[in-house]
């Protein structure tokens, strides 16, 4: 313990530098930053729309497999929580390898719902008075939702956006 | 991306410069900020035991929040602190929830553990088979044997430069003096363990 204390009070030296380099290599090999994460972050930040709040994203696994993070189930429920609204979103596979996204806003109110897709442009639908909306025939990829109350001004004063998430 | 190259700024300084430029109206500098700091955010979040998918979500979320809050950050020098603090807080929130749901983790490996396998420590690896060399597996075991807070700290500072260590330690909630300018407790502990390991070579100066 005393050895450790003495060591702790010495200045950093080349051995420490070499050890830290080895630690960095260890994590670069074993748990690297996912390929394309930086590109995806840049995409998600390049939205033209002004927004007022970023929703917090929670994945809701539907069964044990998803909990263990193995063989991800193809139906996934995501919850996006913001101060002014909560969106529950379910992504389901449809025929031909495409996906369908169904969502529900609470409290229910008509909104313009935008879906920016990393490789396929932008889509927009209107959530009805019950707060329901859907996008059909989507390809797998990454997307980002935005919610703007119908009738709200275009300055984004009450727009909620989500982080980019995998479809 | 490590160590004293005197001609080049540290990670923290490059981030501060990029953020200052962004605030001055150069939107492209935000991309530079993302490039420079995403590895630190990733390792901060993963170091807290957040799984890969959720860690990506956290990193995305933190960057979105920064874009939204950038006007409220007055001093560009504090940008790394802002981001790491936010990432750690969000990771903590998620891992706390996950721990309640999930008790699948294997127990800690014993120090005398089998040398054939990479132990399943508190941290999971994307692919444990990547640690093929005995030296890497050995270092991994020693790192996993550190207290959680030390492991989190060393993992993140390994991706920064020496002038940044103190700021990063503070951002991760470690006490002053945890690392830089002195070696600090965490590196000392690891160094001591490596020196005691007869199979470990090269740790003596």
More confident residue, B168 or A62: B168
Angle between helix B52-69 and helix A37-45 axes, rounded to 10 deg: 30
Average pLDDT over residues A100-108: 95
Segment among B59-68, B101-110, B146-155 with least mean pLDDT: B101-110
pLDDT range class, residue B128, cuts 50, 70, 90: low
> Between chains, do A31 and B139 touch, taking CB under 8 Å as contact?
no
pLDDT band at residue B177 under the 50/70/90 scheme? confident
Q: Which two tokens stand for residue A100?
A: 């369908």
Structure tokens belonging to residue A162:
């989500």
Q: Looking at the domain assignment, is residue B57 inside a domain?
A: yes
Of A14, A21, A54, the CB nearest to B64: A54
Asked, for residue B62, whether it belongs to a domain, the answer is yes
**Residue B69 included in any domain:** yes
Lowest mean pLDDT among B8-12, B41-45, B111-115: B111-115
Could you tell me if A4 and B189 are in contact, meaning their C-beta atoms sit under 8 angstroms apart?
yes
Judging by beta carbons within 10 Å of its beta carbon (0-12, 13-18, 19+), is residue B180 exposed, middle or buried? buried
The answer, yes or no, to whether residue B114 has pLDDT greater than 50, is no
Provide, as residue numbers in chain A, all residues whose Cβ is less than 8 Å from the Cβ of B22.
Answer: none
Residue B61 lies in a domain: yes
Query: In this complex, which of B38, B131, B188 lies closest to A33 when CB atoms are compared?
Result: B38
Residues B77-109 have pLDDT tens digits of 999 999 999 999 999 988 777 666 655 444 444
Rounded to an integer, what distance in angstroms lies between the CA atom of residue B176 and that of residue B39? 23
pLDDT value for A155: 59
Is 90 exceeded by the pLDDT of residue A58? no
pLDDT band at B178 (very low <50, low <70, confident <90, very high): confident
The total number of residues written for chain B in this structure: 205
Contact B192 A56 (CB under 8 A): no
CB crowding A35-57: b at 16 or more within 10 Å, else e = eebbebbbbbbebeeebbbbbbb
Structural domain contains residue B5: no
Mean pLDDT of A111-124: 93
Q: Is residue B110 part of a domain?
A: no
Range of the domain at B43: 11-102+119-196
Q: How far apart are CA B36 and CA B46, in angstroms?
A: 17
Q: Do B102 and A14 touch (CB under 8 A)?
A: no
Complex confidence, ipTM: 0.84
Flag if B126 and A31 touch (Cβ within 8 Å): yes
Angle at A47 (CA atoms; ends A44, A52), nearest 5 degrees: 100
| Total domains, chain B | 1
For B53, the closest chain A residue by CA position comes to A69
**Which residues in chain B touch residue A33, judged by CB atoms under 8 angstroms apart?**
38-39, 42
In a domain, residue B51? The reply is yes
- Return d(Cα B179, Cα B81) in angstroms, integer: 16
Using only C-alpha atoms, chain A has a radius of gyration, in whole angstroms, of 22
* Whole-number pLDDT of residue B96: 75
Rounded mean pLDDT, A126-154: 89
Rounded Cα gap, residues B55 and B46, in angstroms: 6
- Let me know: does A143 contact A116? Beta carbons within 8 Å: yes
Beta bridge partners of A57: A80
């Amino acid at each position: 313990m005393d050895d450790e204390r003495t060591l702790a009070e010495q200045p950093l030296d080349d051995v420490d530098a070499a050890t830290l380099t080895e630690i960095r290599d260890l994590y670069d090999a074993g748990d690297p930053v996912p390929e394309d994460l930086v590109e995806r972050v840049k995409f998600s930040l390049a939205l033209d729309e002004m927004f007022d709040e970023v929703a917090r994203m929670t994945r809701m696994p539907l069964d044990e497999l998803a909990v263990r993070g193995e063989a991800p189930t193809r139906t996934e429920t995501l919850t996006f929580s913001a101060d002014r609204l909560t969106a529950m979103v379910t992504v389901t596979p449809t025929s031909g390898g495409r996906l369908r996204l169904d969502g529900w806003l609470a409290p229910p109110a008509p909104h313009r719902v935008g879906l920016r897709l990393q490789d396929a442009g932008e889509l927009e639908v209107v959530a009805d008075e019950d707060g329901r909306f859907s996008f059909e025939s989507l390809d797998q990829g990454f997307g980002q939702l935005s919610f703007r109350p119908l009738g709200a001004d275009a300055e984004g004063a009450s727009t909620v956006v989500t982080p980019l998430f995998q479809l | 991306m490590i160590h004293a190259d005197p001609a080049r700024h540290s990670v923290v300084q490059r981030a501060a410069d990029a953020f200052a430029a962004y605030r001055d109206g150069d939107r492209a500098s935000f991309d530079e900020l993302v490039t420079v700091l995403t590895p630190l955010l990733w390792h901060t979040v993963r170091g807290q035991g957040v799984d890969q998918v959720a860690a990506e979500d956290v990193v995305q979320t933190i960057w979105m929040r920064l874009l939204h809050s950038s006007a409220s950050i007055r001093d560009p020098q504090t940008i790394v602190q802002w981001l790491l603090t936010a990432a750690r807080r969000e990771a903590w929130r998620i891992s706390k929830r996950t721990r309640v749901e999930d008790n699948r983790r294997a127990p800690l490996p014993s120090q005398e553990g089998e040398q054939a396998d990479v132990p399943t420590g508190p941290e999971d690896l994307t692919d444990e088979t990547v640690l093929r060399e005995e030296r890497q597996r050995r270092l991994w075991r020693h790192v996993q044997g550190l207290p959680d807070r030390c492991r989190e700290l060393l993992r993140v500072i390994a991706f920064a430069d020496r002038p940044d260590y103190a700021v990063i330690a503070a951002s991760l909630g470690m006490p002053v003096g945890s690392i830089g300018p002195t070696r600090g407790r965490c590196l000392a502990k690891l160094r001591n363990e490596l020196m005691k390991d007869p199979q470990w070579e090269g740790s003596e100066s």
